[in-house]
Chain A
């Protein structure tokens, strides 16, 4: 896995904080854990120096005390580097990546709606995927959110 090793070496050389934070799971699959403060510069380096020109999607995660944002980045040769950034649930803020990846728009709106992550700098626009009348503060993908289906309407009273 020569290319994957090269990518790992290059990143740890450029960003000493990434030492021990990058792993190669198999060919074409790498994972890295990046601190929120370092993310912008790591992303810039990945895109402009290492060829990660494709943002496939963004996954939001509920880790209990923290919320995770997982950026799935890829190169044209098929190698993926999945970058995990964790922010505290008490104040879950990340910066938009749309200036670099305009296609990230829908992916960022999704984590705003479903996990309650605040994405700063996201242009005004329609929310996605929930309706306008969805109650504020309800984030369905958070682990503690449960809908108790009743046979009649699929809705239930708050207990």
Chain B
């Protein structure tokens, strides 16, 4: 087969917008919801086969900028298993430290986005201001605020020297205080609770049958967390609770994330207290021997899974990435049916989706009127804030 021509297609004036969500409404209720993904499809898995393992680590870091360390570490764990490499304990601790710091930035980011989706913009400003505390620590330890590049095959590239521990611990103390304030909001701010409670319900049985992952699943009482169930990096040495909640709704998903932050602060303290001495990397071969491995990692949004097959060369035979959001997409349909159009923004936000924020268009078909309209996400968000404001829920 020769080289392939992929047509771009002429620009049609009446071209339909690619809609990520197709909603069928009867009156104000959603009878059917369909999700279409693929707008961010970049062809990463194929690209991995054409690059070396180390190049792939940098590429995979950029599958998602919010949980880049998750993808990088998850990938390397599989490669290291195939190559029979024993990552030194100190490197495992550093990887775990960055992983938990990433969880902090991600959950605070989420809290801000959730606030923004329901019109609670001061929550967005507060959480993102506080999030800068952890961004500074990540930049201090790794040299970058996002896409840290701390990993290498066989360990980590930079040490976390003891002079940095007090700075990190002080940051954790600050964040813990701030998080207590957010817990208060989650339990006492009536408007916030009213927007989140009772929407996007997903039963325990639904979670189990659809194999939902992350805080979304844990908010329905299903205690699955790869850090405890399939321990990796330094998690085997840490003492922590798997946070679950029984609300089964968006409110539960907020509670789980906020309480997970508290567990993370404890884990960071444990990691620094017990940081092992020793090297931070082992030498890795360029050519990885033939073999395969599956690596699982509890990213902030849920279980991330990488499958790697090596063939004795410098490039992988196959790399498969299953990011957590893909596991939860089926459940979104279930979560939206029988709810209101106005609930869509917060319900979708509550799974903490890893598809791009600005590209989500919603196609709304009205059964009783026989019409279809396209709404962009911002229009839907403002509609939902107004809809709830008219019913007495406002910030």
A15 within 8 A of B: no
Partner of B211, one of A56, A130, A141, A156: A56
Q: Which residues of A contact B37 (CB under 8 A)?
A: 106, 128-129
Q: Which residues of B contact A105 (CB under 8 A)?
A: 330
Binds A, one of B57-65, B170-178, B321-329: B321-329
Q: Is the CB of B305 within 8 A of A103?
A: no
CB-nearest residue of chain A relative to B36? A126
Q: Report the 6 A-B pairs with minimum CB-CB distance, sorted nearest first.
A: A57-B322, A159-B2, A129-B38, A78-B230, A129-B41, A148-B3
Interface flags for B322-360 (1: CB within 8 Å of A; 0: not) read 100011011100000000000000000000000000000
What CA separation (Å) do A31 and B294 show in the bound complex? 10
CB-nearest residue of chain A relative to B6? A155
B318 within 8 A of A: yes
Q: Which residues of B contact A157 (CB under 8 A)?
A: 3, 5
B167 within 8 A of A: no
Given A102-B330, A145-B4, the answer on whether A72 and B305 have CB atoms closer than 8 Å is yes
Interface residues of B, count at CB 8 A:
44
* Contact count band on A: 35 or more
Question: Which secondary structure dominates where chain A touches chain B?
Answer: loop
What CA separation (Å) do A125 and B34 show in the bound complex? 9
* Sampled A-B contacts (13; CB under 8 Å): A25-B293, A26-B81, A56-B305, A56-B327, A72-B322, A103-B210, A106-B326, A106-B329, A135-B7, A141-B45, A145-B1, A147-B4, A156-B4
Partner of A61, one of B36, B43, B309: B309
Supply 15 further A-B pairs (C-beta < 8 A) apart from A72-B307, A106-B330: A29-B294, A54-B211, A56-B296, A61-B309, A103-B211, A103-B327, A105-B330, A106-B37, A114-B45, A128-B36, A156-B3, A156-B4, A156-B5, A158-B2, A158-B3
Listed in ascending order, the chain B residues whose CB lies under 8 Å from chain A are: 1-9, 34, 36-38, 41, 43, 45-46, 81, 208-212, 224, 226, 229-231, 292-294, 296, 303, 305, 307, 309, 318, 320, 322, 326-327, 329-331
How far, in Å, is A49 (CB) from chain B's closest CB?
Answer: 17
How far, in Å, is B312 (CB) from chain A's closest CB?
Answer: 16
Q: Is the CB of A155 within 8 A of B9?
A: no
What CA separation (Å) do A103 and B226 show in the bound complex? 18
